[in-house]
Amino acid sequence: MPVKDFQGRILILDYGSQYTQLIARRVREAHVYCEIHPFYMSLEAIRAFRARGIILSGGPSSVYEKDAPLNSADLFRLGIPTLGICYGMQLMAHVLGGKVAGSTKREYGRSELFIDNEEDLFAGLDGGKAIQAWMSHGDRIEAAPEGFQVIAHSPNSPVSAIRHPGLRAYGVQFHPEVVHTPLGREILQNFLFRICQCPPDWTMESLVIKTIQYLKEEIGKEKVICGLSGGVDSSVVAVLLHRAVGSQLTSIFVDNGLLRKDEARKVKEVFGFNLGLDLRVVDAGDLFLEKLAGVVDPEQKRKII
């Protein structure tokens, strides 16, 4: 099913963070579709992805290192809301004219974060009060780029979060995706729902509905044959096809003579009788056993089967 069928799509650009997959997990737990791509994804490909928002992951590099993973400032002028996390925030500040420098004291572990602005990204959080946040960085932003507002600070990072309302660009020095930032989910969901306006439509229910509609449009009035083994993959495909095109589907189950006791009977009972599929069972046990006779190499057996 095409990605375009999901109205809210988030693009995650990866800069080598150990937490990139965790960012994706948090987005998906909020029922928003997302994909991870390498940081060097072209601007043309980013436009074609039609994301509602972009998240820049953290990473182990410094923006001043040779061959550091960087993007051009044009990334932030696409009109797509962007959230930079840790290195992603430093990259944003660096390419847009801010000042990033090494800190005299590396900040790693839990830290107190003070919210200076409760709008959009930090909506619903207590402004002026300290919340717990997980830091993991050596460099820090000493001066935000022109047009950016500082919206949070910590004892070691006077610029711990920034935003540019015009560019719809946001950055956080901490990691909202980890459990050590207790309010991290709320912050990420503020980005997804308040800023990017993503509908929470990436659910199993919506996936089934959209997939069935897609199959109906693709198949039309054609006939369909589906090989059904009784395993998870082919079973899901067969049931979705049956819901989409009904009697246009013929499913074929091959009994190769090597199945578990009563497996063929149970498959026929479940899919033919209970679910109403047009299921044809082919008894090919003799053929398979004939081809396997005398074969002792396991790999060769696998290929024959």
pLDDT tens track for 166-204: 999 999 999 999 999 999 999 999 999 999 999 999 999
Q: Is the pTM of this model over 0.75?
A: yes
* pLDDT greater at residue 135 or residue 227: 227
Q: Give pLDDT tens digits for 195-241.
A: 999 999 999 998 899 999 999 999 999 999 999 999 999 999 999 99
Distance between the two ends of the chain, CA-based, in angstroms?
Answer: 30
Round to whole Å and give the CA distance between 167 and 119.
16
CATH of domain 204-304: 3.40.50.620
Annotated active-site residue 44? The verdict is no
Q: Do 204-304 and 3-195 have the same topology in CATH?
A: yes
* Burial (0-12, 13-18, 19+ Cβ within 10 Å), 300: exposed
What residue ranges do the domains of the chain occupy?
3-195, 204-304
Annotated active-site residue 86? The verdict is yes
Annotated active-site residue 180? The verdict is no
Q: Which of 94, 175, 196, 198 is catalytic?
A: 175
Mean pLDDT of 42-71: 93
Half-sphere exposure of 193 (CA within 13 A, CB side): 15
Neighbours of 189 (CB within 10 A): 20
CATH superfamily membership of 3-195 = Class I glutamine amidotransferase (GATase) domain (3.40.50.880)
Q: Give pLDDT tens digits for 247-271.
A: 999 999 999 998 899 999 999 999 9
Residues in Cβ contact with 103 at an 8 Å cutoff, skipping those fewer than 6 apart: 137, 138, 139, 140, 156, 157
Residue 124 is encoded by which pair of tokens? 């619903």
